[in-house]
Structure 1
Amino acid sequence: MTSDTRTDTREDHAPAAGGGKDDGETKGTVLIALLANVAIAIAKAVTGALTGSPALLAEAAHSIADTLNEVFLLASVPLSKRKPDAQHPFGYGKERFFWALLAAVGIFVTGGCFSFYQGLHGWLSPESDASESFLITYVVLGVSLAAEGASLLRAVVQLRGRARSHGRSLFQEVAKSTDPTVRTVFAEDATAVLGVLLAAGGVLGHQLTGAPQWEAGAALAIALLLILVAYLLGRSARDLLVGQAVDPRLQQEAYEMLAEQKEIDTVAVLLTMRLGVDSALLAARVDLHAGLDSEEVEEVSERIKRDLRDKHPGFGEIFLDIVDADRDERARAHARKQEVDRAVEEQDAQQEGPPQQ
């Protein structure tokens, strides 16, 4: 591009990716998990206090943590849908990522740390006068397992639907989904089911051997499980909050669409960042062919943005910067494009079908 004209254009546009149905399903999934956890948290806490069971008390802390987290997650859905304003020109989409991070912290502090304390205390100072009425403990654990299993099934159904639409397996969807709300509920429910089974194993060991350390050991195992899950969820939420690029295939499609424009000579830089569950930002520096005046540059920029948005409505914010790319910038642009292509190839090798964004 020989002209020294530079433009940095922006058009406010609400994300067109339809998240209404998904948000309704997400609210339903979180609400079911919340109602289940309120009931079983009370049952576990009361029974644990009466029996002195460290495993049951650890599970009560686990359910309380999940209950508080689901309140956070339920509130995050409408908060993330608020319209952009002067203080938040890119909207509030990352609210959902923030509350997911708080949920991970809640799992660690309320669930993991308290469970670890209960397990350590029960191991070092077993209650000699602890109740050995195991029947009520088994009943509470059985009801908890049924409630947690039903909630987990709801989360699995929603995730499977999304996985099919994205051409992924269930576990790939859990790992790569940009909606931390359903992923957190799935992780909490799966952990809760495992926690109930660990607690039941500890109670059974206590019943068969007469040694309360079995329940303390179960509480310690539950604590380690919760700490691990909290770390994984927290790391995922952190990546989204810091600023995570969109799926490599979507980057590749944006690259190719820009490169196909007859006015563009080189796509020097293409940057993307997720602004929310169903919206993202795209910023590109492009070198145009010589011979365009400033008015033509403006028209070309607007048309390219419109075409990008029509094909990928999830790009709610699109910036184009017109530059004169030198030889070094062209070489770096080619290397960056190859990195994206390799990422897509690796992604395709890990799954049966390409993801659809």
Structure 2
Amino acid sequence: MADNSSGGESTFTVLLALGANAAIGVLKLVAGLLTGSAAMLAEAAHSAADTTTEGLLLAALRRSGKRADRQHPFGYGKERFFWALIAAVSIFVSGGAFAIIEGIRTVLGEEAEQTLAWVAYAVLGVSFLLEGTSWLQAVRQVRKESAAEDLGFFAWLRRTDDPTVVTVCCEDSAALIGLLLAFAGVGLHQLTGSGIWDGIASLLIGVLLTFVAYVLGRINKGLLIGRQADVRLVRSIRQRLDGHEGISGVVDLLTMMVGTDQVLLCARLDFDDALGAADVERLCVRLENELREEFSDLDEIFLEPVPREDPDIRARVLERYGENPLSTRSAPGGATRSETPSGE
């Protein structure tokens, strides 16, 4: 996951993308009206969708930073996931759907003459430079944060809990591809005199935006439902607890992302039977302090003492994770138990 200090850089990335897309959208709209190009109008809708998306992402960044209160005791971190999901819907509704409809209208409608093609080429060139600047900032941030977590570029995009950076990176990549498609549509229209190429380019832009919206929607759906924390964090927490004095074993370990860089932890632990109730209470307090100091992403920590031989708890754990024959060890009394494969 991203470091907490990345919040300011995420805001800068979104603001840069917002400014670029707003300017580009106006230029594309003017070019589309002057040239009559369906691809240019589709690209104008594309930029309008991206501008709306950035506005939603700014709302996500602002609202997700609110402190926990009585109504939301676990904070407002998931606001970022919600608004990022709405942004994905916006990309499809205001960008993809319009581009597809405009493409179909152009392909099936009457042939329209293309005028002032040079205006379209000029706008596409300026747009590529502006979009490229925004895209480079997003890529720079992804590379920086993926390197800090020792992950590859695409592996970080799949695992990160910061949907704002992922959204900007994906939409800017789609924007650059869309500009190339629009350039091809305008150029082929000019060379062949047929507006069908313009319509096909618009259709392809719409399909591209629909695909991006689907990918982003799927990512944010997983975060909203409640995704497990990064597997490496889960493993590290488990190892830390498993080897702690006074703990006989980790019975179950549950984690959930409740925001960017915010993890809820629930650990069911089998404490040493020699400990009294007061000893267990003091050990829980000490464990929580140690975990918070070592793992900065932990937001809320719940430690529950349970006997690992309890059949109901074992049944729930096995139902969730299944048997893991590669992770077994002897329990007291000679029995063999399957360790919770959390993070395996």
Q: TM-score, normalised by structure 2?
A: 0.90
Alpha carbons 2:25, 2:48 under 8 Å: kept = yes
Report the residue type matching 2:220 in the other structure: A
Question: Given the alignment of the two structures, is residue 30 of structure 1 paired with residue 32 of structure 2, yes or no?
Answer: no
Larger mean CA deviation between 107-116 and 288-297 belongs to: 288-297
Alpha carbons 1:52, 1:127 under 8 Å: kept = no
Tell me by how many angstroms 1:262 deviates: 2.0
2:69 to 85, 96, 101: 85
Tell me by how many angstroms 1:307 deviates: 1.1
1:325 to 300, 308, 321: 308
Distance in structure 1 (CA, Å) of the matches to 2:158 and 2:308: 37
Secondary structure at the aligned position of 2:269 is classed as strand
- Correspondence for 2:101: 117
Distance in structure 2 (CA, Å) of the matches to 1:327 and 1:271: 18
Distance in structure 1 (CA, Å) of the matches to 2:310 and 2:77: 38
Report the residue type matching 1:339 in the other structure: P
- Correspondence for 1:195: 178
- Correspondence for 2:272: 289
Report the residue type matching 2:290 in the other structure: D
- Correspondence for 2:238: 255
Distance in structure 2 (CA, Å) of the matches to 1:143 and 1:339: 52
Tell me by how many angstroms 1:236 deviates: 0.2
- Correspondence for 1:265: 248
Equivalent residue runs for 1:1-357 within 5 Å: 19=4, 21-128=5-112, 130-326=113-309, 328=311, 335=324, 337=339, 339-340=341-342, 342=344
CA-to-partner distance for each residue in 1:297-339, whole Å, 9 max, x for gaps?
A: 1001111111111110211100011112217556957847563
Distance in structure 1 (CA, Å) of the matches to 2:193 and 2:235: 62
Aligned residues: 324
Report the residue type matching 2:57 in the other structure: L
Tell me by how many angstroms 1:232 deviates: 0.4
Q: TM-score, normalised by structure 1?
A: 0.87
Report the residue type matching 1:309 in the other structure: R
Alpha carbons 1:44, 1:60 under 8 Å: kept = yes
Tell me by how many angstroms 1:217 deviates: 0.2
Distance in structure 1 (CA, Å) of the matches to 2:75 and 2:61: 13
Distance in structure 1 (CA, Å) of the matches to 2:3 and 2:161: 14
Provide closer, same or farther for how the CA distance between residues 338 and 300 of structure 1 changes in structure 2, counting only shifts above 3 A.
closer
- Correspondence for 1:12: none
5+ residue gaps, structure 2, are: 325-337
5+ residue gaps, structure 1, are: 1-16, 343-357
Alpha carbons 1:258, 1:267 under 8 Å: kept = yes
Tell me by how many angstroms 1:277 deviates: 0.7
Alpha carbons 1:50, 1:131 under 8 Å: kept = no
Distance in structure 2 (CA, Å) of the matches to 1:337 and 1:197: 53
Distance in structure 2 (CA, Å) of the matches to 1:164 and 1:185: 19
Alpha carbons 2:251, 2:339 under 8 Å: kept = no
Distance in structure 2 (CA, Å) of the matches to 1:91 and 1:341: 25
Greater relative contact order structure (CA < 8 Å, 6+ sep):
1
What do you get for the CA RMSD once the two structures are aligned?
A: 1.7
CA-to-partner distance for each residue in 1:58-105, whole Å, 9 max, x for gaps?
A: 000000000011011112112111110000001111111111101100
CA-to-partner distance for each residue in 1:203-230, whole Å, 9 max, x for gaps?
A: 1111111110001000000011100010
- Correspondence for 1:6: none
Distance in structure 1 (CA, Å) of the matches to 2:164 and 2:130: 19
CA-to-partner distance for each residue in 1:90-148, whole Å, 9 max, x for gaps?
A: 111111111110110000101110000000001100443x3332111101111111110
Distance in structure 2 (CA, Å) of the matches to 1:174 and 1:107: 19
Alpha carbons 1:126, 1:213 under 8 Å: kept = no
Alpha carbons 2:181, 2:201 under 8 Å: kept = yes
